[in-house]
Amino acid sequence: MRVLAGRSGDATKPYDPPCVKLVEVQFEPIGKVVFVSPGTTLLAASEAAGVEIATGCTRGMCGTDAVCIEGGGDGLQPAVLPEVATLERMGLGPRFRLSCATRVQHGVVRVRLGAF
């Protein structure tokens, strides 16, 4: 049996690597799925999945990349400025987020493209 030292350098304990629980992001209606690390933006997740989302500023200000969250919204970081102001200016409800400004946290997030 091979024993690797942990962070403390204690070779008597098995190495226990940090475990990052990936977040599943589903893109509908095309049915593409990607698993990403917590903290990844929906825009970066879409790029990883090979899904194109039109963008403009990529800073949460123009609203070009608005998407509808169909499920798992509690697995997203809450919206903050400037995303909140942009969504409000656009008159979009609480199910909408800006993909460049929205970071995933946990669980399974279902994103509806083309709903805006």
Q: Which residues bind ligand FES (CB under 6 A)?
A: 55-58, 60-65, 86, 98, 100-101
Query: Cβ 15 to ligand FES, closest distance in Å?
Result: 41
Strands 96-98 and 23-28 turn out to be unpaired
Shortest Å, Cβ 74 to ligand FES = 22
Percentages (nearest 5) of helix, strand, coil residues in the chain: 15, 25, 60
Q: What is the length of the chain?
A: 116
Tokens of 94: 């609480």
6 vs 47, which CB is nearer to ligand FES? Answer: 47
Please state the closest distance from residue 111 (CB atom) to ligand FES, in A: 14
For residues 23 and 42, which CB has a smaller minimum distance to ligand FES in the complex?
42
H/E stretch holding 88 reads: helix 83-90
Name the residue nearer to ligand FES (CB basis): 84 or 108.
84
